[in-house]
Structure 1
Amino acid sequence: MPDYLVDEAVEDYAFISTQKEPELLQELIDTTNAQMGWPQKLSGRLVGRTLKLLSSLVQPTHALEIGMFTGYSALSIAEGMPDHGRLLCCETNPRAIDMAKSFFARSEHGHKIDVAFGRALETLNTIDYELDFTFIDADKRSYLEYYEEVKKRTRSGGLIILDNVLWSGKVLQPESELDDILVETNHRIANDPEVENVFLTVRDGLNVVRKR
């Protein structure tokens, strides 16, 4: 599959036509690229600004992120949250957590973020409040389970956003069990009477889901 799912010039135009992220987030991109393996896991401007905009619209008090990596998407979500809001981030990579926390400490929105080390499904079982906003961007093999468990805990009108749902285009011609899981997740959401959704071709695909 190509690196770009749309024409590269169109992708670049969308990038330069989207307002820049704060300087701290631009620094986080550079630091992640320099110091971390698999830096492409970082969400980037188009996804990050989408998350910030949606968070600003929802104004979540209780938000969740499954798969924090180095904190770019977390800071983007927190930027749109009210000052009293809390974002719980699930992550299993200690080096990524350390880097993220160093940037949270320097951000005016960092006080809104809590980090939980360990498996997200175990962390989910400790949540005793309704969620307003969730971003799912972790182990793709667990996507369907993440979605179902998060939906149970999401209030009516709350958002669930899943990243990488185009899976580099592999959902069009699935060849592996992992590809099939993404296909099934997208199919389940599109046919779920408990939600409404829009599938966006932003970067590697964003499925934006609103619980009825």
Structure 2
Amino acid sequence: MELINPLVEAYTARFTTPESATLREISEQTIAQHPLSHMLSGAVQGQLLTMVCAMIQPRYVLEIGTFTGYSALCLQRGLPEDGMIHTIELRPDDAYTAAENFKKFNANKQITLHVGNAREIIPGLPFTWDLVFIDADKTSYIDYYEMVLPVLSENGFIIADNVLFHGQVLEEPLKGKNAKAIHAFNEHVQNDSRTEQVMLSVRDGISIIKKKKNDEMVF
């Protein structure tokens, strides 16, 4: 399903700060060589991640789903000097590519790559997260959300990618486990009195989620 008119997408890309030469190199390499290149964050979404990071100036960022490292590098561009990104990738081949990209662009001082199952890795990371970017297996979104929410800082944000899942969440009846899982996640967040959120129709859909203050909580 075509979610956004291609002319609109082209126009928004035209009036968005273009990706750097280094990011463009990663983008072109991924598109040319990776069979799942559609999973890459595009230039507009990448610039949005950079902007969000620059606005909130997080000390600790968690990314669940590294892929080839493009989104982590976009986050790193907006990171303060004392900021740190911990990014988790399940697939060893993608983790290797991401590690090479981080090394190539001298990002290792601010990006730590973990290879393995996020469910096992997250509990062992002793940080309070100021920003969490969820872009991994869709059937685990609710689990990831519940894992990170208790360790999200008071002014922290969660960004969830692919919340429109190629438009499949609009179909009736829902088909496919990923579309069903994403729709369930969207409902879960909507019904959670601990948080508030906005869903944006950027690329494949992004939700920005914020923990409510104690005096804002509704039970």
Whether the TM-score (by the shorter chain) exceeds 0.5 is yes
For 2:32 and 2:4, locate their aligned partners in 1 and report how far apart those are by CA, in whole Å.
27
- Give 2:43's aligned residue: 45
Q: Compute the displacement of 1:106 (Å).
A: 2.8
- Give 2:192's aligned residue: 192
Q: Compute the displacement of 1:127 (Å).
A: 1.7
Q: Compute the displacement of 1:35 (Å).
A: 2.0
For 1:108 and 1:69, locate their aligned partners in 2 and report how far apart those are by CA, in whole Å.
18
- Give 1:73's aligned residue: 71
For 2:162 and 2:114, locate their aligned partners in 1 and report how far apart those are by CA, in whole Å.
22
For 2:161 and 2:115, locate their aligned partners in 1 and report how far apart those are by CA, in whole Å.
20
For 1:177 and 1:28, locate their aligned partners in 2 and report how far apart those are by CA, in whole Å.
30
Kindly indicate whether residue 151 of structure 2 is the aligned counterpart of residue 153 of structure 1.
yes
Superposition RMSD in Å: 1.2
Q: How many residue pairs align between the two structures? A: 210
Q: Compute the displacement of 1:110 (Å).
A: 3.8
For 1:54 and 1:142, locate their aligned partners in 2 and report how far apart those are by CA, in whole Å.
24
Q: Compute the displacement of 1:108 (Å).
A: 4.7
Q: Compute the displacement of 1:188 (Å).
A: 1.5
Consecutive aligned runs of 4 or more in structure 1 exceeding 4 Å deviation: none
For 1:46 and 1:163, locate their aligned partners in 2 and report how far apart those are by CA, in whole Å.
13
For 2:139 and 2:191, locate their aligned partners in 1 and report how far apart those are by CA, in whole Å.
20
For 2:25 and 2:86, locate their aligned partners in 1 and report how far apart those are by CA, in whole Å.
23
Q: Compute the displacement of 1:177 (Å).
A: 3.3
Q: Compute the displacement of 1:88 (Å).
A: 0.5
Determine helix, strand or coil for the equivalent of 1:170: helix
Give matches, 1:10-159, under 5 Å: 10-159=8-157
After alignment, is 62-71 or 183-192 more displaced?
183-192
% of aligned pairs identical? Answer: 36
Gaps of 5+ in 1: none
Give the structure-1-normalised TM-score.
0.95
For 2:184 and 2:31, locate their aligned partners in 1 and report how far apart those are by CA, in whole Å.
32
Gaps of 5+ in 2: 213-219
Determine helix, strand or coil for the equivalent of 1:151: helix
